Amino acid sequence: MRIADVMLSFPTILVALFVSGIVRSALPREMHENAALVVLIFAIAVTTWVQYARTVRGSTMAERNREYVLAARLAGRRSLMIIFRHVFPNVMGPVLVIATINLAMAILIEATLSFLGVGMPPTNPSLGTLICVGNEFLFSGVWWVVIFPSLTLAVLVLSVNLLGDWLRDALNPKLR
């Protein structure tokens, strides 16, 4: 968990830019466009694994001392059975909520990296690339070229966050 603590001290975009830069410098220029999606997924995964690890560890530590786990242990259940029947279902709720929040964050990271020119290549569709191209036309009177991709990005991220809130409410055993 010390590695996770160190990873939390660095900003997500900075780590994603660092990983993207290292991988792009290691690959030949001809492979940049073909490997852009894989590099982008890897850069986002390197920065977001920490929240999953901390959430799973914290939830597991809390669940292992609950009464029903102790009762299952006293009843003679094997550890693997206790993990899959009791601990795992109760840990999955917070993990799904973190996943939806991280999905929204991953969409924003991809759009930011594409806006900066290190995400998806300009030949592939991306909201960040559309916003970057539309930014050049913002003050020329063609404002909708940047406004509509920006609104689409905002609505998409808001929708995913609302899905995460709904999942949190639906999976919360205290609200059932």
Write the pLDDT tens digit of every residue in 113-141: 889 888 888 888 889 999 998 888 888 88
Give the model's pLDDT for residue 104: 92
- pLDDT band at residue 174 under the 50/70/90 scheme: low
Taking residues 13-34, what's their average pLDDT?
Answer: 84
pLDDT beyond 80 at 173: no
- pLDDT band at residue 175 under the 50/70/90 scheme: low
87 vs 98: CA distance, rounded Å? 17
- pLDDT band at residue 107 under the 50/70/90 scheme: very high
Give the model's pLDDT for residue 111: 92
53 vs 94: CA distance, rounded Å? 12
Token code pair at residue 52:
């999953």
- pLDDT band at residue 34 under the 50/70/90 scheme: confident
Q: Which of 172, 22, 164 is nearest to 107 (CA)?
A: 164
Widest Cα–Cα separation across the chain: 74
User: Hey, is 176 helix, strand or coil?
Assistant: coil
The model's pTM: 0.81
Taking residues 81-104, what's their average pLDDT?
Answer: 87
pLDDT beyond 80 at 54: yes
Give the model's pLDDT for residue 150: 93
Give the model's pLDDT for residue 142: 84
123 vs 121: CA distance, rounded Å? 5
Question: What is the domain partition of the chain in residue ranges?
Answer: 2-175
Give the model's pLDDT for residue 176: 61
Give the model's pLDDT for residue 57: 92
| CATH architecture, domain defined by 2-175 | Orthogonal Bundle (1.10)
Taking residues 65-92, what's their average pLDDT?
Answer: 86
Give the model's pLDDT for residue 27: 84
